[in-house]
């Protein structure tokens, strides 16, 4: 459809994977289209590639490293120093223990865990995608690995892993905070997954 000057009256915008396009009208009555990075899509892409699930070119890998740095994920070639072990039941900590039944997952699931302040405010959240075959041990190690690389989370606590559990040691100004875990199981008929959260 065209106007009298042969200008299209309908405009179509197409965005590829990882791009969101929104439309609004500004105070001058102009139509404004805004393209933004889809952070949820990007997070899922990065998470799925941490285990080498994607085959990427060297240029793609370089772009992912740049994107990880932009959203606060900094990976180092040198091994990260292990934090000092934290005794179970230590005051000012929260313990998170996942359990799975059967022992290895038969289906995929999505886990969102949040740091929740003592006043109920959600400080920061992280989403993890677990595939079939994961066990309660790998779920705990996966949570610890993500927490230890999330700079936004590290502002509030320090995570450690021991004996199948994640122990969160809160910074002094966050004492009384907790961890909330939400699980989205695609097929709840085959897997039972629980996270026991204990605050000390």
180 and 154 Cβ atoms separated by less than 8 Å: no
- Please state, for a pLDDT cut of 70, what percent of the chain lies above it: 74
Is residue 198 a contact partner of residue 98, using CB atoms and an 8 Å limit? no
Q: What is the pLDDT of residue 97?
A: 92
Q: Do residues 41 and 18 touch, judged by C-beta distance below 8 A?
A: yes
Whether the CB-CB separation of 125 and 112 falls below 8 Å is answered with: yes
Rounded to 10 degrees, what is the CA torsion of 7, 9, 15, 19? 110
Q: Distances from the Cα of 131 to the Cαs of 92, 128, 175, in angstroms? A: 32, 10, 34
CATH of domain 93-199: 2.60.40
- pLDDT (tens digit, 9 = 90+) per residue, 143-194? 898 888 888 899 999 999 988 899 999 999 999 999 998 876 555 567 788 8
- Quote the percentage of the chain above a pLDDT of 90: 18
- 41-59 residue pLDDT tens: 766 666 655 555 556 667 7
CB 162 within 8 A of CB 86: yes
Q: Give the list of residues 6+ apart from residue 45 with CB closer than 8 angstroms, or none.
A: 18, 54, 64
Quick one: pLDDT band at residue 8, thresholds 50, 70, 90?
low
User: If you search the block for the tokens 């929260």, which residue do you land on?
Assistant: 94
Tens digit of pLDDT for each residue in 182-197? 876 555 567 788 889 9
Whether residue 137 is predicted with pLDDT greater than 80 in this model: the reply is yes
Domain boundaries, the chain: 1-75, 93-199
Q: Nearest Cα to 197, choosing from 99, 83, 84?
A: 99
Number of residues in the chain: 200
In Å, how far are 3, 6, 31, 59, 148 from 10, measured between CA atoms? 10, 12, 13, 36, 48
d(CA 113, CA 115): 7
Q: Is the peptide bond before 102 cis (omega within 30 degrees of 0)?
A: yes
User: Side-chain half-sphere of 11: how many Cα atoms within 13 Å?
Assistant: 6
| pLDDT of res. 168 | 94
Average pLDDT of every residue of the chain: 79
Rounded to two decimals, the pTM is 0.56
């Amino acid at each position: 459809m065209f106007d009298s000057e042969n200008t299209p009256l309908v405009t179509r915008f197409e965005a590829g994977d990882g791009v969101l396009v929104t439309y609004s009208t500004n105070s001058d009555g102009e139509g404004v289209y805004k393209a933004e990075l889809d952070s949820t899509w990007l997070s899922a892409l990065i998470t799925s590639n941490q285990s080498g699930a994607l085959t990427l070119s060297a240029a793609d890998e370089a772009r992912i490293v740049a994107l990880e740095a932009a959203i606060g994920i900094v990976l180092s070639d040198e091994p990260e120093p292990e934090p000092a072990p934290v005794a179970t039941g230590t005051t000012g900590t929260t313990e998170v223990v996942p359990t799975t039944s059967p022992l290895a997952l038969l289906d995929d699931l999505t886990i969102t865990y949040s740091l929740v302040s003592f006043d109920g405010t959600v400080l920061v959240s992280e989403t993890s995608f677990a595939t079939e075959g994961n066990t309660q041990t790998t779920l705990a190690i996966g949570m610890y690995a993500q927490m230890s690389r999330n700079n936004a989370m590290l502002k509030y606590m320090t995570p450690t892993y021991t004996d199948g559990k994640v122990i969160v040691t809160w910074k002094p100004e966050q004492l009384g905070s907790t961890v909330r875990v939400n699980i989205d199981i695609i097929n709840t008929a085959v897997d039972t997954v629980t996270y026991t959260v204990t605050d000390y």
